[in-house]
């Protein structure tokens, strides 16, 4: 028998047609295998069947309800299903356990309560870009679509929240294939109206007027929650937005791997691979000319990129912010290599490294944003040349560490982070940041996450392992 879904709804007084016309007030679920349309009486109802093979968005389901036809063996099949849905949990279990001849029993088992409310969420990337951002977008859009939600991607970070809103609707078909793409399809910004980190780690309050405008933009677009992907500065802004009363979930993003609340962030592995690749290339030219090659890498106040990249790339010396150095000790290591027939050396210097009793070098200091470190590599190269008498060259890797395709690890981690962010919204756990600890993706409060940096332990196992194979830290 062919019956229009609309006829089904009108035949049941408990299901109001008025609710069907407003996606924000009703929940729609479509089972693709049986062709069965289930809808809740109102948005507060969570009585839906869990064993669904496909979930459609409210908009799609609404069109389907009014246009498409459904093929049934009998109209009673639909009536029996609604009877079970509208009956209480105990009644539904009794009917199943009593062997009631319901033709679509397999749809109702296992019987679980699942909320399928239609929702619209926002997503933005803020701060410096890095490989893996598109993997997060892939995870968010995929998980949200499975719930029947819509995702609005705001462009150029928080700037996209300014009235009237600069955004694009993100759908699965538009995000297909972006896993391997570096950068971000949404764009990002570490400047503008919403910068909360100033100077060397200071935090400023975002003006209330800007917060009001951002919230008004999202509410005007029907966005009910926002996923903010960024580092400690961007997440500081996210925390202020949450404290301003808007539902926010954070996703940690930094190649520096310097957030204490998560063991690893996506982008870090890709950055380390860039360092290793650079060292592999520098090693061949260093060996040809019996030179010392100094490579300056990013990391700000944390030495993780230098440490992991340097170890992976065969550096003889690694200088990091957490261990003040004496270049006389580095020169001693280089002379020892020469004595043993290794006439070339690779030295990795983190941009935030400083000599014993010295200070970090800045290429640019700013009052309205975070100051930019740099220049220590050239200084180290000149002094090592004078101390060893060897020809020394410096290369600053710079933004090559942020570009290119993400590694497999960053693609998977970014996707998992995106999915978890959607789960946190579904569970209404706002003010939380996705966190990776002991191979498990969980969450912590944003406020706690941005409070402390994740720095290299000078006495830790990784540093100890490096020293055990002869790597000098200049201490």
Same fold flag, 120-267+406-449 and 268-403: yes
Tokens of 334: 């280089």
Tokens of 248: 């926010």
Beta bridge partners of 325: 355
Tokens of 273: 């691979």
Q: Which of 327, 462, 425 is nearest to 383 (CA)?
A: 327
CA 16 to each of CA 13, 58, 78, 206, 243: distance values in angstroms, whole numbers, following the listed order: 7, 16, 16, 45, 38
Contact 309, 396 (CB under 8 A): no
> Rounded CA gap, 20 and 373, in Å?
57
> Rounded CA gap, 355 and 392, in Å?
19
CB contact set of 281 (below 8 Å; sequence gap of 6+)? none
- The helix (H) or strand (E) run that includes residue 3 is strand 2-4
- pLDDT in the model for residue 324: 95
Contact 79, 103 (CB under 8 A): no
Q: Which one of 31, 129, 232, 256 is the catalytic residue?
A: 256
- pLDDT in the model for residue 60: 32
> Has 256 been annotated as catalytic?
yes
Pick the CATH number of 120-267+406-449 from 3.10.520.10, 3.40.50.1820, 3.30.460.80, 3.40.50.450: 3.40.50.450
Work out the angle at residue 41's Cα, subtended by the Cα atoms of residues 37 and 45, and round it to the nearest 5 degrees: 100
Residue 255: phi and psi, rounded to 5, are: -70, -20
Write down the domain spans for the chain. 2-108, 120-267+406-449, 268-403
> Rounded CA gap, 474 and 376, in Å?
14
CA 130 to each of CA 234, 265, 269, 300, 349: distance values in angstroms, whole numbers, following the listed order: 14, 11, 10, 15, 20
Pick the CATH number of 268-403 from 3.40.50.460, 3.90.700.10, 3.40.1160.10, 3.40.50.720: 3.40.50.460
> Rounded CA gap, 80 and 16, in Å?
18
Chunked into runs of 10 residues, the chain (475 residues) has average pLDDT values of 29 31 38 41 36 33 32 36 34 35 33 50 91 95 92 93 92 88 87 67 81 94 95 90 96 91 92 96 94 93 95 96 96 95 96 90 67 85 95 93 92 96 96 94 92 91 96 94
> Rounded CA gap, 224 and 273, in Å?
38
Tokens of 246: 């808007």
Q: What is the pTM of this model?
A: 0.73
CB contact set of 408 (below 8 Å; sequence gap of 6+)? none
Residue with token string 């962010």: 421
The neighbour count for residue 166, using CB atoms within 10 Å, is 16
Contact 306, 299 (CB under 8 A): yes
CA 178 to each of CA 142, 143, 471: distance values in angstroms, whole numbers, following the listed order: 12, 15, 39
SS (HEC) of 14-67: CCCHHHHCCCCCCCEEEECCCCEEEECCCCCCCCCCCCCCCCCCHHHHHHHHHH
Q: Which region holds residue 401: left if phi is over 0, alpha if psi is between -120 and 50, else beta?
A: alpha
Tokens of 286: 């260093």
Q: Which of 353, 359, 299, 313 is nearest to 330 (CA)?
A: 353
CA 121 to each of CA 69, 270, 276, 386, 459: distance values in angstroms, whole numbers, following the listed order: 31, 29, 38, 58, 44
- pLDDT in the model for residue 361: 80
- pLDDT in the model for residue 368: 58
Max Cα–Cα distance, the chain, nearest Å: 93
Contact 415, 139 (CB under 8 A): yes
| DSSP code at position 248 | E
> Rounded CA gap, 418 and 299, in Å?
24
């Amino acid at each position: 028998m062919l019956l229009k879904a609309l006829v089904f709804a009108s035949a049941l007084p408990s299901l109001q047609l008025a609710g069907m016309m407003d996606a924000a007030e009703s929940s729609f679920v479509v089972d693709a295998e049986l062709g069965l349309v289930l809808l809740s009486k109102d948005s507060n109802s969570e009585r839906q069947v869990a064993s669904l093979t496909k979930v459609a968005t409210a908009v799609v389901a609404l069109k389907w309800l009014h246009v498409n036809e459904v093929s049934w063996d009998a109209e009673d099949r639909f009536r029996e299903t609604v009877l079970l849905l509208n009956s209480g949990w105990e009644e539904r279990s009794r009917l199943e356990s009593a062997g009631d001849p319901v033709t679509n029993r397999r749809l109702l088992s296992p019987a679980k309560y699942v909320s399928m409310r239609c929702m619209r969420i926002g997503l933005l990337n803020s701060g410096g870009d890095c490989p893996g951002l598109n993997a997060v977008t892939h995870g968010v859009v995929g998980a949200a679509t499975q719930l029947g939600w819509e995702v609005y991607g705001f462009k150029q970070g928080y700037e996209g929240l300014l009235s009237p809103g600069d955004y694009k609707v993100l759908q699965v078909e538009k995000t297909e294939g972006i896993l391997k793409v570096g950068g971000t399809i949404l764009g990002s910004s570490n400047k503008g109206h919403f910068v909360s980190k100033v100077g060397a780690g200071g935090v400023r309050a975002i003006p209330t007027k800007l917060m009001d405008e951002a919230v008004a933009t999202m509410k005007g677009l029907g966005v009910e929650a926002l996923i903010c992907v960024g580092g400690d500065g961007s997440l500081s802004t996210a925390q202020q937005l949450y404290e301003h009363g808007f539902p926010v979930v954070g996703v940690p993003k930094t190649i520096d791997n310097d957030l204490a609340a998560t063991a690893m962030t996506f982008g870090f592995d890709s950055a380390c691979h860039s360092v290793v690749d650079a060292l592999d290339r520098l090693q061949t030219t260093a060996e040809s000319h019996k030179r010392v090659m100094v490579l300056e890498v990013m990391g700000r106040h944390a030495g993780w990129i230098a440490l992991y990249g340097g170890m992976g790339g065969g550096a003889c010396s690694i200088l990091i912010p957490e261990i003040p150095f004496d270049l006389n000790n580095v020169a001693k290591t280089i002379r020892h290599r020469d004595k043993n027939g290794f006439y070339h050396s690779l030295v990795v210097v983190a941009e935030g490294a400083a000599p014993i009793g010295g200070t970090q070098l800045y290429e640019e200091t700013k009052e309205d944003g975070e100051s930019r470190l740099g220049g220590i590599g050239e200084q180290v190269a000149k002094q090592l040349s004078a101390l060893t008498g060897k020809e020394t060259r410096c290369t600053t890797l710079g933004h090559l560490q942020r570009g290119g395709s993400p590694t497999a690890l960053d693609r998977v981690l970014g996707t998992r982070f995106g999915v978890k962010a959607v789960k946190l919204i579904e569970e209404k756990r706002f003010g939380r940041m996705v966190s990776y600890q002991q191979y498990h993706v969980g969450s912590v409060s944003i406020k706690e996450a941005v409070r402390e940096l994740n720095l290299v332990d000078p006495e830790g196992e990784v540093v100890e392992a490096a020293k055990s194979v002869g790597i000098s830290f200049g201490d």
